[in-house]
Amino acid sequence: MGPAIQAAPATLVFLHGIKGSLLDDDKGERGWLTVAQVAALRTPNLALPVLWGPEGQQRDGWKPVGILKSLPVVENFLEKKIYSVFCDALEKSGRPYRYFAYDWRRDLNETSALLEKFLETVKAESGGVAPTVVGHSMGGMLTLAVLRRRPELFSSVALVGSPLRGGIGFLPDLHEGVRTGLNAGILSPEVLATFPSVYAFFPLDSERIVRDERGGSMRTNFYRLDTWRGMGLGMYAEGRERPQGWDDFFEKALASAQTFRKAMLEGNAATVPVLVVRSERHRTLAAIRRDGGRKPKWDFSAEPKEAGDGRVLAHDALPPTNLGEVRVMATDGEHDALLDDANVQKTLFALP
């Protein structure tokens, strides 16, 4: 008998997290992300239309065109690495791979349907061999949702720093906005609020993460408009102007996000091995406290922080208990650098 023929490894499909893909318009103009935008020399409008039609939220002119690997901080000199460390290692690993770049602003139900079709294509092009899928952060959420309903599209799965049980790590961004370098406008609260995807970060059960003035737990349903309005959060913060038709749009966005969050819990994927990569080495927002006064205000630093990766709590990175075979790998990295760990890369590239 001759030597056994070793089967080629399954194609590895990588899904980035929020803000992880480049966005261009039809003319090739870049909306996300350039040095000029980071330096606040240019601020394209990334806000999505606050109109919800029969086929979902209306579209704007921006489309995903690839993974955001790195950003030149000073042209041709200094570079801020985004996904470049992981992507460079993957491309040198010798393993077949594909990237799934998606518009991280849009409804995740819509994006998960696109991912499902993408995985069907990859499997068909691989002779019926299902791919290995690695999802970082929001990419892990998308991976889990599709895994629940179509486990036959996966040979194995890695969920890296994903808020699988939900969390409030993104709440300060929605409430106060987030600077991108020197640019406070490109992802202002008013812009972020139009992204249905971000509302799926929140847990279905929010007991113990919202506290009153005395530190007592306030049960909160983040998927109800009245919660945001009554607590003065996000677009309902004092002094914030809401566009016409906002309440109707916001209710639809919350309902869609809740549907997606439930999709991560339903179904059976017990036959697919799952690897969870998480960190416990960084203090991470676990709860917010209400500041007293006639109008509600919120303190994002009053409550003790807990173990996590600086963005996602270690506990929240664990999948639901009914998922089946789950292995957990610890790393020291922060949220944005979890995939830079050489041991993590070695483990991911060896997945069946």
Q: Is the Cβ–Cβ distance between 344 and 277 less than 8 Å?
A: yes
Report residue 332's pLDDT band, with 50, 70 and 90 as the boundaries. Answer: very high
What does the pLDDT read at residue 248? 96
Sheet containing strand 97-100, strands side by side: 97-100, 12-15, 132-136, 156-160, 274-278, 326-330
Report residue 267's pLDDT band, with 50, 70 and 90 as the boundaries. Answer: confident
Q: What is the pLDDT of residues 209-253, one digit of tens each?
A: 999 888 888 889 999 999 999 999 999 998 899 999 999 999 999
Q: Is the Cβ–Cβ distance between 64 and 22 less than 8 Å?
A: yes
Predicted confidence (pLDDT) at residue 76 exceeds the cutoff of 60: no
Q: Is the Cβ–Cβ distance between 260 and 200 less than 8 Å?
A: yes
Predicted confidence (pLDDT) at residue 6 exceeds the cutoff of 50: no
Question: Residue 7 CA to chain centroid, in angstroms?
Answer: 33
Predicted confidence (pLDDT) at residue 74 exceeds the cutoff of 80: no
For residue 303, the tally of other CB atoms under 10 A from its CB is: 17
Q: What are the DSSP calls for 54-120, one per residue?
A: TTEEPP-S-EEEEE--EEEEETTTEEEESSHHHHHHHHHS---EEEE---TTS-HHHHHHHHHHHHH
DSSP state of 338: G
Nearest to 86 by CA among 125, 121, 132, 135: 135
Predicted confidence (pLDDT) at residue 75 exceeds the cutoff of 60: no
17-26: average pLDDT: 97
User: Which amino acid is present at 296?
Assistant: P
Cβ partners under 8 Å of residue 28, min gap 6? none
Mean pLDDT score across all residues of the chain:
92
20-29: average pLDDT: 97
108-131: average pLDDT: 98
Cβ partners under 8 Å of residue 195, min gap 6? 48, 104, 105, 106
DSSP state of 153: G
Query: Which range, of 90-104, 130-144, 145-159, 283-297, averages the lowest pLDDT?
Result: 283-297
Q: Is the Cβ–Cβ distance between 143 and 275 less than 8 Å?
A: no
**Which residues on neighbouring strands pair with residue 133, listed in sequence order?**
13, 157
Predicted confidence (pLDDT) at residue 4 exceeds the cutoff of 80: no
* Rounded Cα–Cα distance for residues 89 and 73 (Å): 22
Instruction: Tell me if the bond preceding 33 is cis, omega within 30° of 0.
Output: yes
Kindly indicate whether the domain formed by 12-20+84-349 is annotated with CATH number 1.25.40.20.
no
Which position has the higher pLDDT, 291 or 248? Answer: 248
Give the tokens for residue 345.
């890369």
The percent of residues in the chain predicted with pLDDT above 70, rounded, is 94
**Can you give the pTM of this predicted structure?**
0.94
